[in-house]
Amino acid sequence: MDEKQNIKDVSNQKDTKLQIDSVDDYANEIVEDDNYQRKYRWPVVLRFVCLHLCALYGLYLSVTTSKYQSLVFVFVTGYLSGLGLTAGAHRLWSHKAYKAKWPLRLFLTFFNTMAFDDSIYSYVKMHRLHHKYAETVADPHNYNEGFWFSHYGWKMMTRHPKYLEMLKKQDLGDVLDDPFVRYQRKFYIPLVLICCFAIPTFIPFFCWNEDLITAFCICATFRWCVVTHAKATVNSLAHRWGQKPYDKTPGHACENKIVVWLAFGEGFHNFHHAFPWDYKQSELNWQYNMNLSAALIDFAAKLGLAYDLKKASAAMVEHRRKRTGEPMPENIEEPKKRSFCEWVISVMMFFFPIILWCVCRFCFNLVYIQVFGDTDKNIHNFILDFLAVHLLPHLQNYFEYIKSQMQL
């Protein structure tokens, strides 16, 4: 199908009419209330600490004993699970920036569950409030409460009463019409255990004989950890540093190139708060700083799996820029055409995690051989040997005991 036919022209609609999810319309409803003291939700803190300890051990294993296939697996599933959050829960279900046929919705639901952020339903519920009440007490990850709070701390703390009050007023019937969202919500915990932890542990175990501890720590928890923090930079970094060419009013976040790269194309955040329904979240094509979420949607549109892609016209963007944007000097305006050099940089950025890992593994092993003379002498092999000597014989005896009891 022709891509142009798939893109919905919204240029004839009034700019203001389309700002239904903008902080402008709702800011007056919120009265800042600083008396509320948040408390820690200790089960979430404990889960966060345990997963990070496993992920740190996974990082160590990735530069010492893991198989190369496991790293390629992390690289591929890391990008795909990130896209489940950005192209899926965010652009498709929260903002309805495009429509998707069921195979694409199934694909996005699977990888969204693998990312283990929140169920699509919960994410949409919270994210729509973020747009309506950005940087007020009713914003779930209000940046004014600090960098760490907006990054991940908000998930570990109790919710503000004003946020809970606004949450109740939301009508989410449109999201619940989708059976994938309903079933993911209903079976979220077992689905997370399967998609985020079991599948990424057992595929490396059965397909390339990775040991179970390594597969769990690298392919499940380390991948989860990287994707979680990459996505969280949208709420922390992109609400703190960057330019505001489209809307300079508080709550409209910033354009941050590092976040574009880290969060799969989500860092054009000032544009996004000005035009939340735009499927690219940028004036620029997907190749610019690797807007992978837009690339996936464009690719799906070519296959006929995505349609009705909403895009702000150049005239609408220019009008908004002049009306509310920060004055930008001519010489730092974003280039709209890419040079060959920028293409090379984009491709390198895409493969940067693998390049970084190759360099780290090479350097680590070089140092290790110098110090210990042998890469087999490492903590992981020590743990596996310890388990083989102290745990496995007991387990074997136990299973043999059960077998003998069953034979009686």
Give residues in contact with Zn ion (CB under 5 A): 253
**What is the residue type of 354?**
I
Considering the complex, state which of residue 150 and residue 221 has its C-beta at the smaller distance from Zn ion: 150
Q: Specify the DSSP class assigned to residue 158.
A: P
Considering the complex, state which of residue 120 and residue 253 has its C-beta at the smaller distance from Zn ion: 253
- 309 three-class SS: strand
Residue nearest to Zn ion (CB): 253
Considering the complex, state which of residue 138 and residue 253 has its C-beta at the smaller distance from Zn ion: 253
> Chain centroid to CA 331: how far?
33
- What is the per-residue burial (b if ≥16 Cβ within 10 Å, else e) of 71-102? bebbbebbbbbbbbbbbbbbbbbbbbbbbbee
What residues are paired with 202 via a beta bridge? none
Least Å from the CB of residue 231 to Zn ion: 12
Least Å from the CB of residue 242 to Zn ion: 12
Least Å from the CB of residue 218 to Zn ion: 31
* Kind and range of the H or E run holding 307: strand 306-307
Within 161-198, residue ranges assigned H as helices are: 161-168, 173-176, 179-186, 188-192
Considering the complex, state which of residue 210 and residue 255 has its C-beta at the smaller distance from Zn ion: 255
Least Å from the CB of residue 276 to Zn ion: 5
Residues 6+ positions from 295 with CB-CB distance below 8 Å: 265, 286, 287
Distance CA 210, CA 203 (A): 9
For tokens 């505001």, name the residue.
244
Considering the complex, state which of residue 142 and residue 184 has its C-beta at the smaller distance from Zn ion: 142
Least Å from the CB of residue 234 to Zn ion: 6
Least Å from the CB of residue 135 to Zn ion: 9
Considering the complex, state which of residue 61 and residue 89 has its C-beta at the smaller distance from Zn ion: 89
Considering the complex, state which of residue 200 and residue 242 has its C-beta at the smaller distance from Zn ion: 242
Considering the complex, state which of residue 58 and residue 276 has its C-beta at the smaller distance from Zn ion: 276
Quick check: 321 and 246 in contact, CB under 8 A?
Answer: yes
Task: Give, in order, the Cα–Cα distances in Å from 146 to each of 7, 58, 136, 348, 395.
Answer: 38, 29, 12, 33, 49
Least Å from the CB of residue 10 to Zn ion: 17
Least Å from the CB of residue 246 to Zn ion: 13
For tokens 């209000």, name the residue.
142
Least Å from the CB of residue 402 to Zn ion: 54
Residues 6+ positions from 190 with CB-CB distance below 8 Å: none
Closest to 165 in 3D by CA, of 142, 144, 138? 138
For tokens 């009705």, name the residue.
308
Considering the complex, state which of residue 20 and residue 303 has its C-beta at the smaller distance from Zn ion: 20
